[in-house]
Amino acid sequence: MEQDTHTKETFFSDVIKRFKDDGICIFEGNAFTPEQLNYFTSAIDVKSNESSDYKFGKSYNTGDVHNWIGTPIWEFATSNFMTGFVHHYFNRPVITDVFLTHEYKNNEGLDRNGFLHFDRLRCVKFFIYLTDCDEESGAFHFVPNSHKHGKQLREQGSLSYEEDFDENRQAYETKKNRLVEDFPELGYKNSDAIPIIGKAGTMFVFDTDLFHFGGKIQEGKERKVMRIHLK
């Protein structure tokens, strides 16, 4: 037991260090069983008849993970792996939301996530590919070590969005967060970002201050993703 505890501590220490240093940590191999991946994917398919205002296809904020009690999504979100990460990084209770996304359209222009950007509200995201992803099927791209610069840009334009969100909704919606379009003087280009290419089951965690984009697919391609947001 002491050895197991030591191994876990070493693992999480390494993950948290990489996450803090790089703004992202990519996990090796496939962390999920075929049954888990099938359930995650079927959760998207069940929701596919619901409307979604998303240029790349369908995107659903399913709310708090408690909505998934008794399912494989709940089991993963409350697993020793996830609770261990939360304990070592946050060391406090967190809000955990589940997002499901299916990209399959490329004829309506770019949605916001298709631009190189940092998120307007910062959180930590676990990102899980439910389909094989390459550069033609919407692979996630990121600019290495850009999270510290992203934090500066986000904070210099911040209002109290969480405390006065309704009052500041308009300001939030117009807040600048796209690098090439909103901050051209900084010289960032989409080509600065590198892709994460991987099979279904590939998982990584990133700080949303990191410059990133994804979801842009070629004709006939698709991408299905589950995200766990921690804040």
Q: Which CATH number characterizes residue 16's domain?
A: 2.60.120.620
- Number of compact structural domains in the chain: 1
Of the given ranges (93-102, 104-113, 163-172, 195-204), which has the lowest mean pLDDT? Answer: 163-172
Residue 151 near residue 209, CB atoms below 8 Å: yes
The rounded distance, in Å, linking the Cα atoms of 158 and 172 is: 9
> pLDDT over 90 for what percent of the chain?
84
> pLDDT over 70 for what percent of the chain?
91
DSSP state of 29: S
Residue range(s) defining the domain that contains residue 107: 2-230
Q: What is the mean pLDDT of residues 9-27?
A: 95
| Residue 2, pLDDT score | 38
Q: Given pLDDT bands bounded at 50, 70 and 90, which one contains residue 8? A: confident
The phi and psi torsions of 178 (rounded to 5 degrees) equal: -100, 125
What is the H or E stretch that residue 80 is in? helix 80-89
The rounded distance, in Å, linking the Cα atoms of 123 and 29 is: 25
Residue 225 near residue 128, CB atoms below 8 Å: yes
pTM, rounded to two decimals: 0.91
110 pLDDT above the threshold of 50: yes
- The strand pairing partners of 227, in sequence order, are 99, 127
| Residue 162, pLDDT score | 53
| Residue 3, pLDDT score | 37
Q: What's the mean pLDDT when you consider all of the chain?
A: 92
128 pLDDT above the threshold of 70: yes
**pLDDT one-digit tens code per residue, 25-53:** 999 888 899 999 999 999 999 999 999 99
What DSSP assignment string belongs to 13-37? HHHHHHHHHHSEEEPPS--S-HHHH
3-class SS shares of the chain: helix, strand, coil, % to 5 = 35, 20, 40
54 pLDDT above the threshold of 50: yes
The rounded distance, in Å, linking the Cα atoms of 68 and 96 is: 11
